[in-house]
Amino acid sequence: MKKTGLLFGSFNPIHVGHLMIAGYMYEFSDLDELWFVVSPLNPLKEKQSLLSDHHRLEMVNLAIEDDTRFRSCNIEFKMPQPSYTIHTLTWLQEKYPNREFVIISGTDIFPTFHKWKNWEMLLELYTFYVYPRPGTKDHELTRHASVKLFDAPMVEISASFIRESIQQGKNMSYYLPEKTYRYIQEMHFYEK
């Protein structure tokens, strides 16, 4: 059975922080592959400044196209909105019965995890590979039997910082994969 890590996000845009976490989780865990699940809309976040689904998927594809460890997944584009992790995993499990899916997340999910749809079922059915996030305190769920903590380097890069910096005319070439940054520039994304 193939162990597949799922890294969910809006990836608005995908940046080197996402790729560093993905690379770390692949190299320092028992994952056989890692999928970037591009989410149309996180029910717990506002939609403002969210690029259309196909553009965010394209940026992910450009970022990972030369890396066989990774692939993109647009399953949530075809599901009712807002998308819920439990629904996505149920669908993926039916479509790919020979895979064991693992949820990759930062410690920052735990303070609001009780708001997730069927969060207790998620912990019962799936394993979480969790990396530290800046500014998050120890949470009781990090000690849950389904949660495996990894001592990944903390990455303090956010997509909102990148969007705001591009809007201010800053050069963000070292924060984004080269092809993704070129695409953002060509399309004039996040500019004023």
- Per residue in 3-28, pLDDT (tens digit) is 999 999 999 999 999 999 999 999 99
pLDDT at 116: 95
pTM for the whole thing? 0.94
Residue 121 domain flag: yes
Residue 186 domain flag: no
pLDDT at 96: 97
CATH number at residue 150: 3.40.50.620
pLDDT at 137: 77
pLDDT one-digit tens code per residue, 99-117: 999 999 999 999 999 999 9
Residue 163 domain flag: no
Residue 144 domain flag: yes
With a CB cutoff of 8 Å and minimum separation 6, the contacts of 78 are none
Q: Which domain holds residue 112?
A: 2-156
Residue 169 domain flag: no
Residue 48 domain flag: yes
Contact yes or no for 111/139 (Cβ under 8 A): yes
Residue 182 domain flag: no
**Domain total in the chain:** 1
Residue 191 domain flag: no
Binning pLDDT at 50, 70 and 90, where does residue 54 land?
Answer: very high
